Structure formats: C-alpha cells, structure tokens
Amino acid sequence: MSENSQRREAYELFLRGHHEWQTLQRYRMQDGIQHLLRAVELDPTFNTPHIDLANARVIQMISGFVPPSEAAQQVHQVADAMHASVEGAEAVLPALGWILFHVDHDLPGAIRAFSNSAHLPHETSITRHRSLFALSRHRFIEAIGLLTEALHVDPYSPWLNARLAWAYHLSGEAAKSLAQAEHALDIFPGHESTNIYGSIILAFNGQADRAIAVAEN
C-alpha cells in the first residue's frame, strides 16, 4: 500500500471511529476505538486520532465500560506520544487532566494540565472535561460559566443543555435547574444525556411519575 493510500485509509478510519465512539453505546464505542487504533497504526503522524483515543477512553471510563486503570494507561500513552512541541498537542491535556485528578489523584498535575489548555476554544470533549473537572471540585459557578459560554457557540448541543441543568442542580439552584431540564427535554426528548439528567432533576423536584417515564425512555 502506498503512503498516500495509507493516509487516506487512516483518515477514513478516523472518521468512522470518531462517529462510533460518540454514540455512547458500549460495543459501538469499542468498535470506534479499534478504528482509531488502526488509524494511528497506519499513520502515526496523524494527531487527531490520538486525541480522539484519549477522549474516548475517558468517556468509556465515566460510562463504566472500562476500568479506570485501563483508561488511564491509554491516555498517558497518548500524552507521551504527543510531545508538547507537536502542533495541536494541547488538545489532549483536558483528558489527561481528568485522568490525573480522578485516577492518579494528582490535583496539582490536573490543575496544570487544565491551565495549560485554558486557551483552547470550545470543542465537545474539551468543554465536557473542563466542566466535569469544575463540578468535581464543587466549583459550580465556574462550571455554569463554561457551559453557558459554550452554549452561545453550540446552542443545539443536547449534552451541553443537559449538563447545564445538572450544574444548576448541583449548585442548589432548583428553579433554574428544573427550567433548564424542561428546556432540554422539549428540544431533545430522546437523547441519553437529556433523559439521564432530566429524570434525576424531575424526581428531585417532586415529579416522580414523569421522572420514571423519562428514565424508561
């Protein structure tokens, strides 16, 4: 296979892998990761699949599909492979920061990773890791600010709308949380994140029957 053919196949595998791992369905995510691994094998200089691998492993871990140690090992391997001088290497830092905090229990290292990537613009995985890191540290105002700002760029993102409702809920702002959850459910009634966060928020606010229906959906 020629070098150009390899790069073309690597790009096609990346596109397939990128789509599959974002479905949040266990076996499709695993298939997506296999596509990404193959893309990296075909073209080691193609940085985007490396970053996608790190982000996918974090979401697999959060979803309970892989052990934290396995996800951490993969993310560290990606971070090690992408030297800081490589263009775009900072995009792996939010995923690395999440691993450093939740798996390695290295708060200074996590703060450093998020600080060194603070200049990066909104992208789904980057904002997800940033907001979750803020929420994990009970920095609710910071998380709400991140999500609100991202929604100006991407107002029709199901998970951004649902995560904002969850951030309001955790911060104790019940009225805002319920209103945002209702907004997300109206626009994205079938999305997993909308139903997960929406069912919890509805139940907390005394709407048990509707919460059950949303959870079953």
pLDDT given for residue 1 in this prediction: 63
In tens, the pLDDT along 9-27 reads 989 999 999 999 888 788 9
Give the H or E element holding residue 216: helix 208-216
Q: Tell me the pTM.
A: 0.87
pLDDT surpasses 90 at 56: yes
Mean predicted confidence (pLDDT) in 42-64: 90
Helix axes 47-62, 3-21, angle to 10 degrees: 20
Cα(161)–Cα(150) distance, rounded to whole angstroms? 10
Give mean pLDDT, residues 178-183.
96
